[in-house]
Amino acid sequence: MYREQIKVLDCTIRDGGLINNHSFTDEFVREAYIALSKSGIDYMEFGYRSSKELCPVHEYGAWKYCDDEKIREIIDGIESKLKISIMVDAHRVREQAFAPADQSPVDMIRVATYVKDIDKAIDLARRVKDLGYEVSVNIMAISKENEFALIEALDQLAQTPVDVVCVVDSFGALYCEQVEYLVKLYREHLPGKEIAVHMHNNQQLAFSNTIEGIIHNANYLDASLFGIGRGPGNCCLELLVGFLKNPKFNLSPILKFIQEHMLPLREQIEWGYILPYMLTGMLNEHPRAAIAYRATPDKDKYAEFYERLLEGLE
């Protein structure tokens, strides 16, 4: 599927950070940056720019904050065309500062928001756009939103200078026909903007839903190395690059990074096809119940977990 406009964003460090408290080592991040640069990936997302008031620095690793100087330290001396993005939660903006884009290593700021916080998201998006950044707004948890409110949010976004709006399947609940419906809805209400997709893999549908997005003209695609991410994780970057026939991509550095860095990491932290997350995805629920259950000695009692989930929904 060759389409020149397609851009791939690797969210390994950002989404993977949700399962290791954003504490990847500098070497890991630097090696990932090198591998992604060699692979021709378009964007690498380093993490969140979080409020240090809300999130004290002794509680998290560096990628919870993504200070410009920290990013510079990592990429120093590496020749690369890879753009850098960071994420900001719209509802958690406090004192975080943003330098003008031409004085920052960051190219794109992605504002994560719920529909209810769309005004906060737009306020932040306008501010960082004025500073010269590329801007994406990622509306989370849409599988639970009512469509009236969602369309209102999209119509508001249409009036802003935001470059990209992302369809985010936070709960890993969508299947192909719903992805088609949503991508078409976004395109209809957001003329002239690029549509992105960020899919979770609860039901082994992250890659196929990303393909579905491509078919319906989403051009910005999120994926992560070996699918790392909270719970089931994301669309696997290696699958996506294998599918996209764009000659600018090179799969080998990705495979090499996975064998050298992701396999050892998965010995320490879990992600992937794990049934409690499959069940929350199937029932269109936030994964928090599964996260809690995986931390108990009963973590593999799937039938019991399922019955408990159903009871909780009654």
Q: Is 15 exposed, middle or buried (0-12, 13-18, 19+ CB in 10 A)?
A: buried
Q: Is 207 in the site for a second copy (CB under 8 A)?
A: yes
Q: Binders of a second copy among 122-141, rule CB under 8 A?
A: none
Q: Is 204 in the site for a second copy (CB under 8 A)?
A: yes
d(CA 299, CA 292): 9
> Is there binding between residue 282 and a second copy (CB under 8 A)?
yes
Q: Is 34 in the site for a second copy (CB under 8 A)?
A: no
Q: For the chain, what is the largest distance between any 2 Cα atoms, rounded to a whole number of angstroms? A: 57
* Nearest to a second copy of 56, 273 (CB atom): 273
Give the residue, chosen from 158, 291, 302, 308, that forms a contact with a second copy under the rule CB under 8 A: 302
C-beta of 203: minimal distance to a second copy in Å?
A: 6
What residues contact residue 11 under an 8 Å CB cut-off, 6+ apart? 45, 198, 222, 223, 224, 229, 234
Q: Where are the beta strands (DSSP E) in the chain?
A: 7-10, 43-48, 83-89, 108-113, 134-139, 164-169, 194-199, 220-223
The residue count for binding a second copy (CB under 8 A) is 40
CB of 296 vs a second copy, minimal distance in Å? 14
Distance CA 102, CA 314 (A): 53
Q: Where are the alpha helices (DSSP H) in 217-283?
A: 237-243, 252-257, 263-268, 275-282
217, 291, 306, 308: residue in contact with a second copy (rule CB under 8 A): 306
The 169-198 site mask, x for binding a second copy (CB under 8 A), equals ------xxx---------------------
- Determine which helix (DSSP H) or strand (DSSP E) holds 163, and give its type and residue range: none
Our finding on whether 239 is near a second copy (CB under 8 A) is yes
Would you count residue 215 as binding a second copy (CB under 8 A)? yes
How far apart (Å, rounded) are the C-alpha atoms in residues 143 and 90? 19
**3-state helix, strand and coil shares in percent for the chain, rounded to the nearest 5:** 50, 15, 35
Among 120, 272, 291, 308, binds a second copy (CB under 8 A): 272
Residue 242 makes contact with a second copy by CB under 8 A: yes
Question: Where does this chain touch a second copy (CB under 8 A) — which range of 7-15, 83-91, 94-102, 234-242?
Answer: 234-242
Smallest distance, a second copy to C-beta of residue 213, A:
12
Is 255 an interacting residue with respect to a second copy (CB under 8 A)?
yes
> What is the token pair recorded at 108?
């794109």
Measured CA to CA, the distance from residue 12 to residue 45 in angstroms comes to 7
CA distance 106 to 92: 20
Q: Can you give the binding site for a second copy, defined by CB under 8 A?
A: 175-177, 201, 203-209, 211-212, 215, 227, 236, 238-239, 242-243, 251-253, 255-256, 258-259, 263, 272-273, 275, 278-279, 282, 300-303, 306-307
